[in-house]
Amino acid sequence: MCGISGIFNVENAETLVAETLFAIQHRGQESCGVAVRDCRGNISYHKGMGLVKNVLTPENLFNHQGNIAIGHVRYPTAGRSDKVNSQPHVAELPEGPHIAVCSNGDIINYYELRTWLENEHNFTFRSDNDGELIGRLVAYYLVHEKMTIENAITETQSQLKGAFSTLLIYRDQMFAFRDPHGYRPFVLGHLDYEEGGELMSDGVVFASESCSFGIVGATFIRELEPGEIIRLEKGKPLKTVSVSAQNRQHCVFELIYFSRPDGFTFNELVYDVRKKIGARLFEYDKENLGVDKDTVVMAVPDSSNFVALGYAQASPANFDMGLLRNHYVGRTFTKPDQKQRDEGVRHKFNPLPDFFTGKKVVLVDDSIVRGTTLRKIVRMVRSAEAKEIHVRIGSPKVIGSCYYGIDTPTRKELIASKKSVDEICSFIEADSLKYMEVEDFDTILKSSGNFCFACFNLKYQHCPDDYHQKTNVPCERC
Ligand code: SF4
């Protein structure tokens, strides 16, 4: 998972993009960057490892000012953890100006397309990153096939398999395009801004999540359609070039875990979805668990907060916060390796003194991946003298990897791919364990048929053979 944003036709667009990226920092903390087109028509960029507040500072952006800008926050899915894989990427064209690209997702046929460009057309790649591939494909169709920029993007979009929400700058134009299934979120807004004391209404803003809009005073307009290509050109109205939608496959994990609760993702208010998940989890327990006013419902903070709140509000129990989270540690799931995740858990959570003694606790989490993190948390609560610990999970069992932009481990590492619910309950040392079922989302989402549940039910849209070829992991599903 990563996050992108772009601003068109607003002075100091680079600064505004940095602010929008700050709002979606939760989508990736490894590296970030901004590319900007200045008033002379040059494209320049600044990117680096680390957080937006440290990399995209006013000093670092001082020499990269313009009115068209795109930006990216990265957490690694494919490609090593290295500055060279940070985005945006700039693809050079023989006569300039260049193309700047940033993308959120995962291209399943990455290696096939990259090898074709390298072997058949002498392209040289600097990174292992999808954004670079997309930029070089567009450059190929533009320069070698002499296509118009619109046709080059349309052709590129048709060649890519997998998930991509992409922004591209070419000359004084910006393009926004999305994969035909709409895996990753992508929203469009409008920016009213002041210039010389006057209210202007010229700017267009794109972002992964609508929570980026408030920070720059933008208004949400709509989500991009799956397969849509949008073109912005100075002095012309926004134009939808084409829409090549296939069956929608929005990532349901965005609603369960990744997206910020204060935004609309896939036309759902994330906060509402999480509370409904919590209420549904209570339905399972209503007749069975003896939940009463002395039961404490608490979240593994923060992504489960509203699921736990929804559970508590539907039940006679009280919602409380017995685990305190250190916010400077970041998300453990998005740390690239197990050692960093383990250290993250130890530094991240701490139980309130005397809070748990003798209590029956319903502990709510969003998902179980390997089980090791949750076991540490259950042990922490148990050693704080809780009487009973009943774990409730706001997603179904994660039994398969994701090939569409989320860095889930291989199936071998996923505890639910090899253990039953009872076995997982024993492993995490809880008194009971219950997951959401895939079918339960029918009553929660406006249209559950528009969502991808592949890591929960193994119903993938694309055979991931190409992905396995890329990572040298043998295909366990096909
Ligand atoms: S496989 Fe899972 S994480 Fe990946 S897009 Fe589908 S629902 Fe989301």
Q: Is 252 in the pocket of ligand 1 (CB under 6 A)?
A: yes
Q: What is the average per-residue pLDDT within 159-177?
A: 96
Residue nearest to atom 4 of ligand 1 (CA): 402
**Model confidence at 195: pLDDT above 70:** no
As a whole number of angstroms, the distance between CA 361 and CA 377 comes to 13
Q: Are 319 and 275 in contact (CB under 8 A)?
A: no
pLDDT band (50, 70, 90) for residue 209: very high
Our answer to whether residue 2 is catalytic in this structure is yes
Give the number of C-alpha atoms closer than 13 A to the C-alpha of residue 389, restricted to the C-beta side.
28
Say if strands 218-223 and 187-195 run parallel, antiparallel, or are unpaired: antiparallel
As a whole number of angstroms, the distance between CA 422 and CA 47 comes to 47
Residue nearest to atom 8 of ligand 1 (CA): 251
**Tens digits of residue pLDDT in 320-369:** 999 988 877 655 545 556 555 556 666 788 899 899 999 999 999 999 99
For the entire predicted model, the pTM comes to 0.91
**Tens digits of residue pLDDT in 360-381:** 999 999 999 999 989 999 999 9
Q: Is 282 in the pocket of ligand 1 (CB under 6 A)?
A: no
Catalogue all structural domains in the chain, each as residue range(s) with its CATH number: 2-249 (3.60.20.10), 258-460 (3.40.50.2020)
**In 224-340, at which residue ranges do the beta strands (DSSP E only) sit?**
228-233, 239-243, 250-251, 264-265, 268-269, 296-299, 318-319, 323-325
Q: What is the pLDDT of residue 79?
A: 64
From 180-184, 272-276, 285-289, the region with the lowest mean pLDDT: 285-289
**Tens digits of residue pLDDT in 234-260:** 888 889 999 998 999 999 999 999 999
From 100-109, 137-146, 408-417, 448-457, the region with the lowest mean pLDDT: 408-417
Q: Report the interhelical angle of 338-348 vs 372-383 (nearest 10°).
A: 20
Q: What is the average per-residue pLDDT within 149-156?
A: 97
Q: Is 257 in the pocket of ligand 1 (CB under 6 A)?
A: no
Q: What is the average per-residue pLDDT within 126-151?
A: 95
**Model confidence at 1: pLDDT above 70:** yes
**Ligand 1 centroid, distance to 169 Cα (angstroms):** 29
As a whole number of angstroms, the distance between CA 284 and CA 201 comes to 50
Q: Is 454 in the pocket of ligand 1 (CB under 6 A)?
A: yes
Q: What is the pLDDT of residue 93?
A: 83
From 208-212, 428-432, 471-475, the region with the lowest mean pLDDT: 471-475
**Ligand 1 centroid, distance to 106 Cα (angstroms):** 11
Q: Are 30 and 84 in contact (CB under 8 A)?
A: no
As a whole number of angstroms, the distance between CA 420 and CA 298 comes to 24
For the CA of 451, the nearest atom of ligand 1? 7
Q: Is 404 in the pocket of ligand 1 (CB under 6 A)?
A: yes
pLDDT band (50, 70, 90) for residue 478: very low
Give the number of C-alpha atoms closer than 13 A to the C-alpha of residue 73, restricted to the C-beta side.
28
**For a pLDDT cut of 90, what percent of the chain falls above it?**
74
